[in-house]
Structures are given as structure tokens and as C-alpha cells.
Structure 1
């Protein structure tokens, strides 16, 4: 994995010293909260309901064991003993004291980490899929280009004060697991018939108040022009994006207003003026960065391991875990493991304790090469595990409550912290997630249902990505009460699409029953092994609406609240 050079160290250390001075001036009254606001946001510090929240960047979701132990230390020393992993491959600490924030940034810097640009109207943390570099269906490892984008965008003065926040994702596999079509810029890296690396560029994607699926504006960008083309897009956005209304300031609104063809033409003109300049990436620069992502020292292992196969047949719980949480690896004899952060009612989705982080850091060294990934779904991943070690790893994870075999199932819920923490939220997310998880604890039932994504957001900002959940839940405030709007049919990936609202919102207490009725409708209509998403796409929303609303005692309340 990438290691800081002298420039990285100097940049991050200087930022820590700078922020320490800014915090001191805020505490002694030299800076007002209004003056301090943009300074703290540029260092990932939010003021939430109960305390400050610090969001630390995990570029493209890659952590070393040492870095994970550092996060555990921060959780234990400065927070309430846990951290919350997000859909943008970051980690959030929810109970931070302002005077301690510079010390936390100092801890991060010592471990080659930071919180720069995890907030504010700038280029945010660049993301990719959790299986980059090891996925069996991968075309090219996208991490070198993700790191190139990170270095280029970090404290780039031209793009620190954009009209609104800006998110970039890159993927390079047969299946898109980075949700690139719901980003401001989405990049798909592939090879043409001659083996040349090219990029398909999507723009204008995003969720939030106005959810939009991104559209392709260039299908064959040579990789050497990655930075200049992204720069051209950002320049057009910086020049024409709205600054008078934050709800209409994202690039998706600009693309929609101009039309995709006009926007693409504007970008092309800008790019032609700069594409032969110093932003062109040389082979030497690419190789410098790519050298940090060389494959570890894999062993030459047999395709079949007798002990592993024996454990599969003799331990059904282990076999069930393998079926859901173990992912095919590109190297024979290895696998990638999804560590579920969704055990049910014992912890909110995405929350991991300091003790669990320490154990996972150790397991990454014992059963892998000391590397951990953060997944878009808020789970953790060990990317390189010998199949022969999977049984022992499963037992170790079970001891810390992180061997739940539910990856991709209904209870693998994506959820933002919601109204329990966030001052922007209209409603709570965590209690709804836990009520649903409690209702559907039966693993046999979950496995019978198959792949279903359920995403929950506490407000229209859509941090829980509810728009692209097969089942989406959005918290809304109606006359001071918390209600929940339900969408069906959303999906991420190659065929990304937005869910559709099924009707009036429901109260918090109704939500487990609502999900149960939705699932009952699915089971009534599915054919053979048809997935939930396939059924919704085939039969539409009406059968679900009929089961949910017709002769329901909640109809009148829901209608009144929706009005």
C-alpha cells in the first residue's frame, strides 16, 4: 500500500500545526464560530447535536494494521470506545472535544492519515471498491489512479472553494462495486483491444435532494489524460455551477440545466486547451505510484484444500458464512473476507469498537498481509486470506461478534447515524435499522430471501444512499413527528437505478411490519430463484402498494402525515 513521502509528511504536519493554532484562537475568543466554521470543516470537524464529530479520511478504503490500531487508540482515548465507518470509506468519531481535535490529527499524521477535505466544498475522499487489486473479475487495479487523484486534489488551491462538495469514484471490474454512477465524477478503467488503459467518464451523478444517475461524456479517455480531463470538468463546474442556492449547487444540477451534450462540449473545449500541459501523467509517474501497490508474496497454493472442504461439510454455520461473506480472489488458494459490522441489535450498522479494531488488525497480520479495506456497504474486508485459514479466522471473528453471515442480505443494512447524532437529520436511522434487524433475525429466512439491499437515510442528504437500495427508507419530519418514506427498486452497480416512492410515509413503529409486508409480496410473486430487484422490475409497485395500503389501519394516518 502507499506510504507517505517527504512531501506528504510536510503537508500533513503543517496542517496539524496550523489547525492547532486555529483551535487555540477559537477557544480564547480570537475567532468567532462563524470565522472558525470553514477552518474546522476543512479539517473534517463538524459540530453535531451532542459534540463535535471528526471524520478521518481512508483514501480508497485501504488501511494497514498499524493504521487500524491508531483508529482504535483514538476511539478509546478521545471518543466513547468506537468509530463509525461510512459509505465513503471514511471513519467518524462522534464524541470529540474541540480542544483535543489537534491531538487526534497529530495521531493520524503519525500513522500516515489525515482528515483534510473530508468536509467542505472541495474534492472529497476518492473512493473505489473494497476488493481493488484482488477481485477475480478485476480488469486493472484502480488504486494507483485513485492515489494519483488523491495527491493531485489534496489542497489543490483551484478546487478548494467549489460551489459544493465534489465526489469521485473509480472502478475497474466486470461488476461496478464502487457505485460510480452516483458520483459527481465516476470513472471506469478498462483496456481496449490493444491492451491500452482507457477510462469511461461519467458525470452528474449524485443522490441527496435531487437524485440523478450519472451519464457518460467520454468513453475512451487515455489514462495519461486523467488529471487534465478531471481538471477540465472541475473548471467548467467551478465557473458555471450555482453558488446562490446550496440545494442547486451540485454539478448534477448544472449538467441537467445545460444538457449532457452541451456540458460535454464545454468540457471538451476546456480540455483541449490544457490536455498537452504538465497535467499529462507520464509512465514514470504512474510507475512510481503503482510500485506501492505491487502484489504481496502470495504462496503457490493448490486449488483444492482438503481441510477447508472438510470444515465446509462438517460445520454448517461456517459453510453459511463462507457462502455469504467470502469472495472469490484472483489468486488460486486465496479468498477475500467480508467482516460484517451488522450483527443486529447489539451495534448500529457501521460501528466498530476499539477492541474489535485491535483484534481485526491482529487477524489481518495473522491471516493476511496486514491490510484491511473499508467497503462502501460500511463493512470491513480482509483482502488476502488463504482458504486453509478461513475456518480459524471465522472462529476468531465469532469471538468478537463479527462473524454474522449476512453480507448482501436484508440485515446488511446501510445506515447513516441519523437523528441520534446528526443535526441535519429529520429522523433517527439507527433505531429503525435495529428494529428491522430484530424482526428478521432468522438466518434461514434471510438466506431464503437472497440478495436484498436495504438502505436508510435520516434526511434528504442521503448519506445512507437510500435511493439506490432495493428497499430505501428516508426519514422525514411531519409536524414534529418522525415518519419514514419507502422506495423500492433502487440498485447500484452496472445497472444503477433509483428507487421509486411507493406511497405515503409510515411511523417508526410501523416500519418492521412494512418491511415484512414488502417481503411477503416479493415471496408471493417471485419465480424460482428470482431476486427481489428482479421481481420489483417485473411486476412494478402496484402489488406492493396494495398489500401495504389497502385495508390497512395505518392508511389514514399515513395520508394525513403526507399532506
Structure 2
């Protein structure tokens, strides 16, 4: 993985020193709330319902075991013993004291970590496929380009105060596991007819209050032109993006207003002026960065060990875990193991300090000392010898990190919601618990098959509810928590925004409504169809009719609303 040089370390250390002075002046009353706000946001600090929240960057989701131990120490020393992994491959702490946040950043800096640009109107943490470098369907390792973009964008003087936050995702495989189509910029690595590496460039995707899918503005951008083209896109946005209305300030609104063709013309015109400048990405720089992501020393004989197949036959529980939580690897004899942060009874994405330290130890033992954060709020141990899987499974079970639910209804994405977030309208964590209690049998989950359930506590869509096969959005109605359900979303190659089912449902009825929806799927599905496939074949109406079946609380509410012209 990437290692800081003297410039990286100096930059991060100096930012800690600056921030320490800013906090001191704020606490002394020398800075007003309005003056301090942009300063703290640029260092990842939010003011939430109960305490500050600190968001720590995990560039392209990659951690060393030592870094995870530092995160565990911070959780134990400065928080309440746990952290929360997000859909953007970051970790958040929900209970730090404001006066101690400079000390946290100082300890992060010692471990080559930071919270720089995890908030604010700037280029945020660049994300990638969690299987980068190990996926069988990979064209090129996207982490190389994520790191190059990170170095280019950090403290970029022209793009530190954009009209609104800006998010970039890079994927290097045929299967999009980075949700590239719902980012401000999505980059798909590809090859041209000569075999040269380049990028398919999408712009204007995003969720939140106005969800939109990105538009392709270049089918093939040569590797050498990556940074200059990104610079051109950001310049057009910085010049023409709206600053008078926070809800219309994202680049997706500008692309929609101009139209993708006109936006592309403006980008191309800007690019013509700078493409041959010092921003040319030469092959020597790509190779320099590539060396940080060299493959680990795989053992050729790993594929010959018969123990894995023997344990698959001997232990049905182990075989079940392998089927759901273990993914194929590009090297024979190795597998990718999902560490499930979806134990029933715990908030999705949460992990305590003891568990972090245990995962760090397991990474040293089985995964060359590295851990990845996924978009679905789990962790991943790549590069595990299949001969070690049985031992690893037992170790993860002991830590309650082996729930065999990856890709099922129980593998839900869930933002912190009203339990922590000052922006939220409704709780998310309690709804996750309600759903887990309703669908608590593994056999039932497995029969339902692949379902992506995404949940957000407000329109900001931190839980990516718009692109869930089933999406749940918390809304406030006269001080009460209600939940709007959408169906048919996807964040993968077949990206789509979900269709709203109908009127929102009461908090107590969310799981019951899901049960009726899923009965339609079970009754209507064809052989081998996923929930998403069935929805796309039969449409919304059969689900809507059953969800608001006569006699249900939802049906009564719907009748009442229509009666009064709601």
C-alpha cells in the first residue's frame, strides 16, 4: 500500500498544527461559530445531535493492520469504544470531545492517516472497488489512479472552495463495485483497440435530494490526460456551478441544466487549453505509484492444499459461510473474505475496538497485513489462502464477525440516522433491528437470494437508498417518524434509481410491509430470478397492491389521504 514520503508527512503534520491552533482560538472565543465552521469541516469534524462526529479518511478503502489498531485505540481512548464504517470507505467516530480532536488527528498523522477533505466543499475521499487488485474480472488496478488523484486533489488551491462537495470513484473491473454512476465523476478503466489503458468518463451522478445517474462525456480518455481532464471538469464546475442555492449547487444540477452535450463541449474547450501543460500524467509516474500496490508474495503451492475441500464437505456451517462471505480471487489457491459488520442487534457498519484489534491480528496472520473497507459497510480480508479459511472462519465467529449474510436482505446499508445525525428526520438503526427481528431465519434469507436493502434517515441519502433493490427513506411527518419505500434501484452496471412504492408507512409497520412486498417476489419470480429481475419484469404495481393490501394500516392511511385530497 502507499507509504507517505517526507512531503506527505510534513503536509499532514502541519495541518494538525494549524487545526490545533484553530480549535484553541475557537474555544477561547477568538473565532465565531461561522468562522470555525469551514475550518472544522475541512478537517472532517461535524457537530451532531449529541457530540461532534469525526470522519477519518481511508483512501480507496485500504488499511494496514497497524492503522486499524490505531483506529481501535482512538475508539477506546477518545470515543465510546467503537467506530462506524460508511458507504464511502471512511470511518466515523460519534462521541469525541471537541478539545481532544487535535490529539486524535495527531495520532492519526503518526499512522499516516488524516481527516483532511472528508467534509467541506472540496474533493472528498476518492473511492474504489473493494476488490481492487484481486478481482478476477479486473482490467487494471484502480488504486494506482485513486492515489494519483488523491495527491493531485489534496489542498488543490483552485478547488478548496467549490460550490458544493465533490466525489470521485474509480473502478477497474468489468463489474462496477464502486457505484461509479452515482458519483460527481465516475471513472471506468478500459482499453482501446490497441490495448492502451484509458478511462470512460461519467459526470453528473449523485443521490441526495435530486438523485441522478451520471452521463458519459468521454468514451475513452487516454491515461496521460487523466489529471488535465479532471482539472477541466472541475474548472467548468467551479466557474458555473450555482452558489446561491445549496440544493442546486452540485455538478449534477449544472450538467442537467446545460445538458450533457453542452457541458461536454465546455469541458473539451477548457481541456484544449491545458491538456499539454504540466498536468500530463507520464508513464514513469504511473509506474512509481504502481510499485506501492505490487502483488504480495503469493505461494504457488496454495492451490494444491486439499484441506479446504475436505472442510467444505465435513462442516455444513463452514460451507454456508464460504458460499456467502467468500469471493473468488484472481490467484489460484487464494480467496477474498468479507468480515461481516452485520451481526443482528448491532448497528450495520459498527465495529468495536476489540474487534478491530482482532481483525488486525487476523490480517497479519492471513492477509499480508491489509484490510479493506467496502461500500456495503463491511470489511474485507483479501489474499487469504483457501487452506486457512477454516481457521479464519472460527476466529471471526468468535468475534461475531462471521454472520453468513453477505448479499442478503440482512446485509443492509444503514446510515446512523436520528440516533446520531443532526440532519436526520428518522431513525435508521432501530428499523434495521426491526427488519432483522422479522427476517431472522437464515434459510428464509437464502431463499430470498440477492437483495440490496439500503436505508437513509434523511434526503441526504448517506445510506444510498435510491439505488437499493429495496430503498427505505426516513421522513418526518408532524414530529412522527415515517418511512418511504422504493423498489428497483441498483448501483452496479445496470444502475437505476428506485421507484417510490406509494405513501410512506409508520415506523412500526416497515418490516411488515417488507414482508408483504417479498411475498409478491416469492410468488412471481421465475427460475433463477433475483428480486431486482422480478421487479423489472412485472413492474411496481403488483408490489404496491400487496403492500397496501385491504385491511392493512397502510391501506387505511392511503384511503384517508385520498379522501382529503392529500
Distance in 1 of aligned mates of 2:539 and 2:248: 31
Q: Distance in 2 between matches of 1:385 and 1:431?
A: 34
Would you say the 8 A contact 1:504–1:559 is kept in 2?
no
Is the 8 Å Cα contact of residues 66 and 111 (structure 2) preserved in structure 1?
yes
How do 1:304-343 and structure 2 match up within 5 A? 304-343=304-343
Give runs of aligned pairs for residues 346-495 of structure 1, distance below 5 A. 347-495=346-494
Q: Which runs of 5+ in 2 are unaligned?
A: none
Measure, in 1, the Cα distance between the counterparts of 2:559 and 2:460: 24
Equivalent positions of 1:138-287 (< 5 A) are 138-287=138-287
| CA shift digits 1:362-403 (9 cap, x unpaired) | 000001200000000010000110000000000000000000
How far apart, CA to CA, are the structure 1 residues paired with 2:262 and 2:453?
A: 36
Residue 81 of structure 1 contacts residue 354 of structure 1 at CA under 8 Å; is this kept in 2? yes
Offset of 1:556 from its aligned partner? 2.8
Check 1:9–1:302 CA distance in 2 against 1; reply closer, same or farther (3 A cut). closer
* 1:561, distance to aligned residue in structure 2 (A): 7.1
The alignment partner of 1:242 has SS state of coil
TM-score scaled by length of structure 1? 0.99
> Quick one: distance in 2 between partners of 1:249 and 1:32?
25
Q: Is the 8 A contact 2:207 2:460 kept in 1?
A: yes
| Partner of residue 299, structure 2 | 299
- Kindly indicate whether the alpha-carbon contact (under 8 Å) linking 2:428 and 2:455 is maintained by their aligned counterparts in 1: yes
Contact kept, 8 Å, 1:126 with 1:167, in 2: the verdict is: yes
Q: Sort the Cα spacing of 1:151 and 1:561 in 2 relative to 1 into closer, same or farther, 3 A.
A: farther
Superposed displacement of residue 303, structure 1:
3.5
* CA deviation string 1:491-533 (max 9, x = no partner): 1111100000010000110011011111111001001121100
- Alignment coverage as a number of residue pairs: 562
State the Cα deviation string for residues 399-442 of structure 1 (Å, max 9, x = none).
00000011110000001000000000010000001110111111
Q: Shift of residue 32 of structure 1?
A: 1.2
Does the Cα contact within 8 Å between 1:506 and 1:558 map onto a contact in 2? no
**In 1, are the aligned partners of 2:302 and 2:386 still within 8 Å (CA)?**
no
Shift of 1:192: 2.1
Distance across 2 between alignment mates of 1:352 and 1:225: 40
Cα displacement (A) at 1:288: 1.2
Structure 2 Cα separation of the partners of residues 447 and 92 of structure 1: 31
> SS in structure 2 opposite 1:146?
helix
The answer to whether the 8 A contact 2:303-2:334 is kept is: no
Distance 2:67 2:142 in 1: 21
**The residue matched to 1:157 in structure 2 has which SS?**
coil
Preserved contact between residue 241 and residue 250 of structure 1 (Cα < 8 Å)? yes
**CA deviation after TM superposition for structure 1 residue 302, in Å:** 5.0
**Pair 1:559–1:381, CA change in 2 (3 A):** farther
Quickly say closer, same or farther: Cα 1:77–1:560, change in 2 above 3 A: farther
1:472 partner SS: strand
Partner of 1:511: 510
Q: Which residue of 2 aligns with 1:72?
A: 72
Q: Deviations over 1:46-66 (max 9, x none)?
A: 000000000000000000000
| Alignment partners' CA distance in 2, 1:306 and 1:89 | 35
Distance in 2, matches of 1:553 and 1:88, equals 36
Deviations 1:71-128 (A, max 9, x none): 0000000000000000000000000101100000001000000000000000000000
TM-score (norm 2): 0.98
- Structure 1 unmatched runs, 5+: none
CA 1:511–1:561: 2 relative to 1, 3 Å: farther
Cα distance in 2 for partners of 1:296, 1:338 equals 19
Question: Once the 2 structures are TM-superposed, how far is the Cα of residue 304 of structure 1 from its aligned partner?
Answer: 4.9
Question: What per-residue deviation string (whole Å, max 9, x for no partner) do you get for residues 170-215 of structure 1?
Answer: 0011100000000000000012232210100000000000000101
| 1: CA distance, partners of 2:372 / 2:131 | 8
CA contact (8 A) 2:127 2:168 kept: yes
Tell me the distance in 1 between the aligned counterparts of 2:184 and 2:276: 24
Deviations 1:448-492 (A, max 9, x none): 111000000000000000000000000001111110000000011
Shift of 1:305: 3.2
Partner Cα separation in structure 2 for residue 89 and residue 246 of structure 1: 25
> Which of structure 1's runs of 4+ aligned residues deviate more than 6 A?
none
Q: Is the 8 A contact 1:56 1:92 kept in 2?
A: yes
Distance 2:544 2:220 in 1: 43
C-alpha distance in 2, partners of 1:508/1:24? 43
* Secondary structure, aligned partner of 1:200: strand
For the residue of structure 1 that corresponds to 2:94, the secondary structure is strand
SS at match of 1:303: helix
- 2:302–2:385: 8 Å Cα contact kept in structure 1? no
Conserved? CA contact 1:505–1:561, under 8 Å? no
Which deviates more, 496-505 or 546-555? 546-555
Task: Indicate the residue corresponding to 1:502 in structure 2.
Answer: 501
Q: What secondary structure does 2:118 align onto?
A: coil
- In the aligned structure 2, how far is the partner of 1:464 from the partner of 1:45? 19
